[in-house]
């Protein structure tokens, strides 16, 4: 009886590993994120872009931004990198500070489907 229970336990374990690797939730999330994220398009339907310079209240220098819609899998840093097509020329702390200043929302609280002002460092 003990051997039969161990046998069925192993069969259930192997099936669950097989199911998770082929049809599991991680694979579904990966496909959704891969399909949903793309490079920003100026005249496309996937992301809305509009460049408008904005002045900081206390700083005379201007900080330009681009309004982008957040898709599944996007982060503030990935949106800035997509916008620049490469590495970010400022520190990550500066990106976070500028994003919070433009949107009054911390980067960890962004929501899918909403449009945010992303700092443009070009």
pLDDT tens-digit map of 49-79:
444 444 444 443 468 888 989 999 889 988 8
Classify burial at 9, counting beta carbons within 10 Å of its beta carbon; exposed 0-12, middle 13-18, buried 19 or more.
Answer: exposed
Q: Residue 33: its pLDDT value, please?
A: 44
Which region, left, alpha or beta, applies to residue 113 given φ > 0 means left and ψ of -120 to 50 means alpha?
A: left
Contact criterion met (CB below 8 Å) for 62 and 55:
yes
Compute the residue count for the chain. 122
Residue 120 DSSP SS3: coil
Is the pTM higher than 0.75?
A: no
Percent of the chain with pLDDT over 70: 68
Give the tens place of pLDDT for each residue, 75-107: 998 888 888 887 888 888 999 999 999 999 898
Q: How many Å apart are CA 82 and CA 76, to the nearest integer?
A: 10
pLDDT score of 97: 92
**Residue 108 in this model has a pLDDT that exceeds 70:** yes
CA distances from 96 to 31, 64, 75, 89, 91 (A): 28, 15, 11, 13, 9
Best CA proximity match to 62, nearest among 74, 71, 53, 49: 53
Higher pLDDT, 37 or 111: 111
Q: Give residue 115's pLDDT.
A: 92
């Amino acid at each position: 009886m003990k051997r039969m229970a161990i046998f069925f336990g192993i069969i259930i374990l192997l099936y669950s590993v097989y199911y998770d690797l082929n049809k599991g939730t991680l694979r579904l999330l990966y496909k959704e994120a891969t399909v949903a994220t793309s490079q920003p398009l100026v005249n496309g339907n996937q992301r809305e872009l509009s460049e408008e310079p904005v002045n900081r209240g206390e700083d005379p220098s201007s900080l330009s931004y681009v309004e982008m819609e957040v898709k599944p899998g996007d982060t503030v840093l990935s949106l800035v990198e997509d916008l620049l097509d490469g590495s970010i020329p400022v520190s990550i702390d500066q990106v976070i500070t500028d994003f919070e200043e433009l949107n009054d929302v911390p980067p960890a609280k962004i929501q899918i489907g909403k449009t945010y002002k992303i700092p443009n460092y070009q």
